[in-house]
Amino acid sequence: MSAQPRPNRTTPGIAKLLPAYRRVRDTTVALCATLAPEDTVAQSMPDASPAKWHLAHTTWFFEQFLLAHFDPDYRRFHDGWDFLFNSYYQTVGPMHARPQRGLLTRPTLREVIDYRAYVDDAMENLLERRGNDGELSSRLALGLNHEQQHQELLLTDIQHLFSLNPLQPVFREAPAAAAAEPVAMAFIAGPHGIVEAGYAGDGFCYDNELPCHRELLHPHAIANRCITNAEFRDFIDDGGYRKPALWLSEGWDTVHREGWSHPLYWDEGMETAFTLAGRRAIEPSAPVCHVSFFEADAFARWAGARLPTEFEWESMAQDLPVEGNFADSGALRPLPASSNRSGTRMLQVFGDVWEWTASPYVGYPGYRPAAGAIGEYNGKFMCGQWVLRGGSCATPTGHVRATYRNFFHPAARWQFSGLRLARDL
């Protein structure tokens, strides 16, 4: 999930920039507090990255795109590290192969922490000298949001890594969920006709949320909550993974090739799931998560419904407060919807699970990527991926908004991805 910033219309100044910088940077390190050095080196699959690499790459981002750009006297911490910690910015230079990041035993974790401190000192000095520079504050906003994205990736990548360890280690203890009665599902009619879509505010957004434009919505309704583990279990028990008519062709091929029969992290008895707090009993009323677009789409078809388009989702969410179960809650897993609310109110719109939509990830009408390396942040990924909305239990509070567009390949399952149903009216 990546993109480019919308220029700020106001300049926050050093009084706001420096505390925000320190808060985000400290949070990333704090997420690693329970990890041993050995935990930070390993890479579980090509789509994931070691925690040590996340710590270094987010630091390289500030070094490359702020310090080297705004401070002519800045000297890089280590000349050879551009190659190691560049992710995909081809215009910056070559980079170490992504599937081999787990082979980087050197630099050590201690050296990476020293790297972060070196860059943080230089960044604080830069902000003290040029904190009122509008271009600098805009680039800083991008860097901080980029690091928050990697905070979420760090959590999901550690969960995948620990899930492959026979010892089933615990990343962080989390409180047991309180008993919850399931909330009855209800479909709520959404707006139809011509609607505005895309970001129209004054603050930060990514360029894939722009430009604000018009979309035509046909009459539809969206479910008041996400699909639960119990409901997805019904799909499985009814032979959902064995019925080709429910699946897109590529999805059916993927099910057979990968041997899928339930969501990622569920055990074969479908009684427990591996979480960041270790293996836990599956909570029936909690949102199902770690399902691919293919699985979400097949479930929707089985349920006689469909996935909402991203614009139906956005029009439903745009007037709601951005509140929910985010990473800061400490739960580190999706939680059941509150049962003391009526069926006429949307629940779990933000947090808990990223919600797959029926929309391919493409640029909005009039979209233009930025020139130079920053333009590589987003536009070049608009091929073969699908949009998710809403954030998850691993997303930092304050990071998402109604127009925020996440995107992944349709077979991806290691993120906290779930679904909400929609139907035509």
Spatial contact of 155 and 327, defined as CB atoms under 8 Å apart: yes
Q: How far apart are CA 341 and CA 59, in angstroms?
A: 43
Q: How far apart are CA 324 and CA 336, in angstroms?
A: 11
Question: pLDDT at position 149, please?
Answer: 98
* pLDDT (tens place) for every residue of the chain, 425 residues total: 334 444 444 456 667 899 999 999 999 999 999 999 999 999 999 999 999 999 999 999 999 999 999 999 999 999 999 999 999 998 899 999 999 999 999 999 999 999 999 999 999 999 999 878 989 999 999 999 999 999 999 999 999 999 999 999 999 998 887 777 889 999 999 999 999 999 999 999 999 999 999 999 999 999 999 999 999 999 999 999 999 999 999 999 999 999 999 999 999 999 999 999 999 999 999 999 999 999 999 999 999 999 999 999 999 999 999 999 999 999 999 999 986 555 678 999 999 999 999 999 999 999 988 777 777 777 889 999 999 999 999 999 999 999 999 999 999 999 999 999 999 99
Q: Which positions ≥6 away from 100 have C-beta within 8 Å? A: none
Q: How far apart are CA 417 and CA 332, in angstroms?
A: 13
Write the burial class of residue 281 (CB in 10 Å: 0-12 exposed, 13-18 middle, 19+ buried): exposed
Question: pLDDT at position 96, please?
Answer: 97
Give bridge partners of residue 287 from the DSSP assignment. 228
Give bridge partners of residue 278 from the DSSP assignment. 275
Question: pLDDT at position 158, please?
Answer: 98
Question: pLDDT at position 110, please?
Answer: 98
Domain 187-424 matching CATH 3.90.1580.10: the answer reads: yes
Question: pLDDT at position 131, please?
Answer: 76
- Token pair recorded at residue 397: 């509070």
Q: How far apart are CA 131 and CA 143, in angstroms?
A: 15
- Residue 64: left if φ>0, alpha if ψ -120 to 50, beta else—which one? alpha
Question: pLDDT at position 3, please?
Answer: 41
Question: pLDDT at position 175, please?
Answer: 84
Distances 254 to 109, 157, 294 between C-alpha atoms, Å: 37, 21, 9
Distances 28 to 141, 156, 196 between C-alpha atoms, Å: 16, 13, 35
Question: How many residues are present in the chain?
Answer: 425
- Domain edges within the chain: 14-163, 187-424
* Of the candidates 73, 329, 48, the residue with the CA atom closest to the CA atom of residue 161: 48
For the domain spanning 14-163, the CATH number is 1.20.120
- Token pair recorded at residue 123: 């960044």
Question: pLDDT at position 343, please?
Answer: 62
